[in-house]
A and B are shown apart, each in its own frame.
Chain A
Amino acid sequence: MSGAADVGTEPSQAIATTPATASPVPVTIIEPSRGWVSLKLGELVAYRELIYFLVWRDIKVRYKQTALGAAWAILQPLLTMIVFSLFFGRLAKVPSDGIPYPIFSFAGLVPWTFFASGLAQSSNSLVGSANLLKKVYFPRMAIPIGSILAGLVDFALAFGVLLVLMLYYGITPTVNVLFLPVFVVLALVTSLGTGLWLAALNVEYRDVRFVVPFITQFWLFATPIAYSSSLLGEPWRTLFGINPMVGVVDGFRWALLGTGAPGPIALVSAAAAVVMLVTGAYYFRRMERTFADRV
């Protein structure tokens, strides 16, 4: 009797376990989407290898095609710093919170250059990848995200120069330097939020490519890079933090050079950056459905 019972249970066990062990068949439903759509962040995670390869391609191609290659990453903020030091530091004698002006401005220019080039690259990224958008499916967000992450390599190189300069001026960072990654993330979030907005807008309105250089220039002067945010009195200084790059630059100076703590500015900036990222991501997803037809 026991043998018969074994025979009886075996198949049913097999049936019960099969669906759990075999990989489930993914089902895709294709239909017109309406209203606000989900961000599908899970899908973005599933495509992380694609983002990795896009970043890797951008870096590789950039350094292969340019004569000076990686030197650009250093030259761009370095030359700007020299110009700023001459005009704002020497001639206009802009106060720099007691820090030597060159390193004061360079500490701001390093995250700024990351942000500005991320903006330029990401706003053009979708239009530049028109061929891909028309021929293959993947989460479209991977493209602007990839173009911004690729800028991290340039950022790392420029940051190395910053450390050398600090050594030269004999500035040793305080324990605050532990908070530096927070401000790097803040710069990343700001770039992503702005980049998603501009990339999607550029597909719809090609005017955007003419607007971006202007925005960047305006934004540069609206960020305390050539000057210090301490020039402003409260509550204006805190309000200034609505520009998330204010929090980033003040944060960098505080963490590395030991200027005043950004406190409330950093919080306002972080909130502004998150709002920018979330709205940017939703706008991007909403526009995404017509990218292939418009790009």
Chain B
Amino acid sequence: MSGLAITVDGIGKRYALGARVPYRTFRETVTDAAKKLVTFGKRSTPREELWALRDVSFSVKPGELVGIIGRNGAGKSTLLKVLARITEPSVGQARLEGRLGSLLEVGTGFHPELSGRENIYLSGAILGMRRAEIDRRFDEIVAFAEVDRFVDTPVKHYSSGMYLRLAFAVAAHLEPEILLVDEVLAVGDARFQRKCLDKMQGVGESGRTVLFVSHNMPAITRLCPRTILLDAGTVLRDGPSHAVVGAYLSSGLGTKAARAWDDAEKAPGNEVVRLRGVTVRQGGQIKDGVDIRKPIELEVEFDVLEAGHVLTPNLHFSNSEGVIVFIARDMDPAWMHTPRPRGRFRSTAIIPGNLLAEGTLIVGAAISTMNPKRVHLFEQDAVAFEVMDTTEGDSARGDFAGPMPGIVRPLLQWRTETE
């Protein structure tokens, strides 16, 4: 007994790149084997590899709640999959002491044709609960999910909210000593999300060990005293949540206000169009931090490689909690219905001042053909910037210095009448 719930020692996970289809056909295997014969067993070209995780080490004490954050592709989900024994590590070792439960998706194993009652048993069994355990907690699960009246109705007739509530309820009543949770709290309405958070907090207080992956920074800081920040498959920071989350948000880690793809071959896109750059500017300058009161310019630069397509650049703005703030498409009448010739284009969108709330905004850039709909490229997390409110009194917060929730913060016109 090491006295630790989780010990991760030099875990690495390697994927072979270039294989678009994960599975093979007999033909490929036969031609590969033939090639091997010809080259006397040596690989003619070394296969390109991607380390989704590299030399990850940390340990977690029993009863600790640890958040795991990082941008998309940082290796968070791969780490949970390795610890949940869904996929094997390529190198390294992990040691888990205690019964393990994982919650990587809500509704794992649910079957639409089966009733709520039947799905509780099925999903429970898949998640590793014993039948007696499910029997004992059945009423509790139904009550938590608030589906009492529909428990014998096939879940295909459930609303998506009911479905998610039931699915989460089953998972939330697992009683392992170690629980791995991946982004499952982002389900249901606000009231149910609150309930889920409370439940998670209860899990922590009952002395169980929890690893919690999320993009929901407030949830991470509220639930987990400690957070691990992953980037490009390695542990970048490991410490108190408020410090790690703060560092992550303010660094805009890996995602900056300007991004350029110098190598046209590796730029996102297809044979029609390639993305060459996305830039955030204010007052003509590239800015990571922008003034909440002034307009922000977002420039998308792209190469049209094949003439004759109507192309619409579009931008997807989300905040650090993963909420989509808005989506904007290019409305320039010159190119809205006109096929573009080959060449370099720059489209700039201007976001008015006094519209966004303060905080980090993550921008995804896409270029699509609207009719018929075809997405040529979609680079999520293309750029990010931080909106900063001032205390000079002329923004929407006026002279109020406290926290102001909300995803937008427009400066409104106010009129006063008095009798």
Which residues of A are interface residues toward B (Cβ below 8 A)? 25-33, 49-50, 52-53, 56-57, 60-61, 64-65, 131-138, 203-207, 289-290, 292-295
Contact = CB atoms under 8 A, between A and B. Distances in A.
B131 A49 contact: yes
Given A29-B95, A31-B93, A33-B88, A137 B118 contact: no
Contacts of A50: 125-126
Contacts of B93: 29-31
A28 B96 contact: yes
Given A28-B100, A33-B88, A57-B114, A138 B128 contact: yes
Given A53-B125, A135-B105, A204 B24 contact: yes
A27 B86 contact: no
Nearest to B178: A28
Contacts of B29: 205
Nearest to B126: A136
Most buried by B among A32, A133, A134, A135: A135
Contact of A31 (B94, B97, B105): B94
Contacts of B92: 31-32
B26 A205 contact: yes
A132 B109 contact: yes
Given A28-B96, A49-B131, A136-B127, A293 B104 contact: no
A25 B1 contact: yes
A137 B85 contact: yes
B126 A138 contact: yes
Given A49-B130, A136-B108, A293 B22 contact: yes
Contacts of A132: 108-109, 126
Contacts of B177: 25
Contact of A207 (B26, B97, B98, B99): B26
Interface string B104-137: 1100110101100010011001111011000000
A27 B97 contact: yes
Nearest to A127: B23
A49 B98 CA distance: 21
B83 A293 contact: no
Given A31-B93, A33-B88, A137 B121 contact: no
A81 B392 CA distance: 90
A26 B122 contact: no
A136 B104 contact: yes
Given A30-B95, A53-B122, A290-B87, 12 more contacts: A30-B83, A31-B88, A60-B113, A64-B113, A65-B113, A136-B86, A136-B128, A137-B84, A137-B100, A205-B29, A292-B86, A294-B23
Interface string B2-42: 00000000010001000000111110010000000000000
- 9 closest A-B pairs by CB: A30-B94, A53-B125, A137-B85, A28-B96, A31-B93, A292-B87, A135-B105, A289-B88, A294-B22
A138 B127 CA distance: 8
B113 A28 contact: no
A276 B118 CA distance: 35
Contacts of B104: 135-136
B97 A137 contact: no
A117 to B, nearest CB: 19
Contacts of A294: 22-23
Nearest to A60: B114
Contact of A205 (B23, B87, B99, B130): B23
B23 A203 contact: yes
29 contacts: A25-B97, A27-B95, A31-B94, A32-B88, A32-B89, A49-B125, A52-B125, A56-B122, A57-B111, A61-B113, A61-B114, A131-B108, A134-B81, A134-B86, A136-B102, A136-B109, A136-B127, A136-B128, A137-B84, A137-B85, A204-B23, A205-B23, A205-B25, A205-B26, A206-B23, A206-B25, A207-B25, A294-B23, A295-B22
